[in-house]
Structure 1
Amino acid sequence: MLLYIYSHIAIVFVDRSCTDTAILVFARHPEDEARHKNWLGARRHRANTTLASRLFRSICSEAHATGLPVFVIDSTRQQGQSFGERFHHAITTVFAAGFDKVITVGSDCPFLRSHHLLQAASRLDEGLVLGPDHRGGVYLMAIDRKTFDEADLLNIHWQTPVVLKELMQLATVNLLTRLHDLHSLQDIQRLLARIRKPSGLQWLLSFLIQASDQKNLPELPHTRYMNRVHIRRGPPVLA
């Protein structure tokens, strides 16, 4: 069974008898994300859009790799005035499809992998599962229907440094590993400085090395290696 929620991404559903948990990718459309984040500067809109698209494709690929049902609702499909309203409506959409648990993620955390999603799924019986970032927010929230019905998510101060603190007051919380997300050029600088050798983020590093102003980025010990092998491909798209 296929359900199209995102305009050009196929949302693949596995046999409903196998799982009561679905993944929700709730994110801006890459064009909107590029304008909002503007990582590489206003004059590099094309590069910003390419980066946003690759990050979006990356999280969709990681979600797809779990084998769980995946909903992708980007900013062209979201309903509501505030972030909280749009997020609440998107989660309601997943529950309305018959699922009892939902794992929500955005598209700006390049370190997020399928094993984090599966770990969240395995811990949902223990309560609300949160993946904290380094600015007081979360890169992942996994919630069951009962907790969702009881929690007042609309009054969370979303997109502020108190999100994690407020969410932890709603229910019993199980925390995942803290991960970095990308909101600014400074986040990219920190990301590049942390990675000591070629990794699963080669596509991102290679792209940034080629697209960014070199004087704004730290020198990488493995830059020569990456330039030599010409890593230019993005992550695989959804089948």
Structure 2
Amino acid sequence: MDQKNRDTAVLIFSLSARREAERKRLFGGGKKQGAGEFFDILIGRTKKLASASGADVYFIDEGKQRGHTFGERYANAFQDLFDKGYSKVVSIGNDAPELNAETLRKAIAEMQQNDLVVGPSTDGGVYLLGLNGSLFNTDEFLNLPWLQDSLCDALAKSVYWQQGGSFSLDFFSDIDDTASLLQFVQRTSDRFLVDFILIHLFRSKVSCGHRVAITFIDVHPSFLTLRGPPNTQTYTESVRKAA
């Protein structure tokens, strides 16, 4: 292990794929299996990139989380790692497939010079949060607007969180619903995930000989080649009917 990273832990704060599929109906209410498989893929990728970071990695899902609210569970996860002797913790989730090993290593490197490292997400939250233990305060942590689109601004504007040096990474998007899933498909060059997503979104359904949803084959060739904005009306109607 790289000597300079022995004081840093990577926290993967996540729900299991099953729980994520119950909470986020990405492919429609009746397609939990597809959503579960999707999050299985994302969790596996997240663990792999974390393992390549040069820091110790801890995966804390609902079986290990403690607390009644998200903020309490998240605060306890940070505190547990500080209690293990790590002076710096970099936390990531499972729902930002654009996050890569290079960005994570950069976050860890920046933690050697800064007390706060933030990976801002396009929805106003954060996909990565790095904290120095000297900056961590449970009360201040719990006062942050967790699971709200004002979280990143709260970190940027709070005097408490800005008392140490801080660094902001590039903006990435996280996947919370079908709309953000479709936005990801338009941006990414990850053919494997695009194929998986489109297959599960646009499976044909036939009722009385009438096709009620466009198929993967209808969408896939031109969608991947042109990558332009889809026909909003057709796209939205297809998603609604396929759900």
- What range describes the TM-score normalised by the shorter chain of this pair? 0.7 to 0.9
Higher RCO, Cα 8 Å, sep 6+:
1
- Which blocks of at least 5 consecutive residues in structure 2 are unaligned? 204-213, 226-243
Partner residue in 2 for 1:20: 7
Q: Deviations over 1:3-25 (max 9, x none)?
A: xxxxxxxxxxx588862111000
TM-score, with structure 1 as normaliser: 0.80
Q: Supply the distance in 1 between the matched residues of 2:201 and 2:170 (Cα, whole angstroms).
A: 29
> 1:127: how far off?
2.9
* 1:216 Cα offset (Å): 9.2
Aligned to 1:32: 19
State the identity as a percent: 26
Shift of 1:189: 1.1
The aligned counterpart of 1:207 is 196
1:84 alignment partner, one of 71, 91, 106: 71
The Cα offsets for residues 18-58 of structure 1, whole Å up to 9 and x where unpaired, read as 62111000011111111111100111111011011111111
Superposed, 1:131-170 pairs within 5 Å as 131-149=119-137, 152-168=140-156, 169=158, 170=161
Match of 1:186 in 2: 179
Deviation at 1:67, TM superposition (A): 2.2
RMSD of aligned C-alpha atoms?
2.2
Ranges in structure 1 where 5+ consecutive residues have no aligned partner: 1-13, 225-239
**Aligned match of 2:101:** 114
Map of 1:50-89 to 2, 5 A cutoff?
A: 50-89=37-76
SS in 1 for 2:54: coil
The match for 1:174 among 160, 167, 173 is 167
Partners of 1:220 and 1:39 lie apart in 2 by: 22
Secondary structure of 1:75's counterpart equals: coil
Counting only pairs closer than 5 Å after superposition, residues 211-222 of structure 1 correspond to structure 2 as 211-213=200-202, 215=214, 219=220, 221=222
Corresponding pairs, count: 207
1: CA distance between counterparts of 2:171 and 2:89? Answer: 20
Inter-partner Cα distance in structure 1 for 2:122 and 2:6: 32
Q: What's the TM-score, normalizing by structure 2? A: 0.79
Max Rg structure: 2
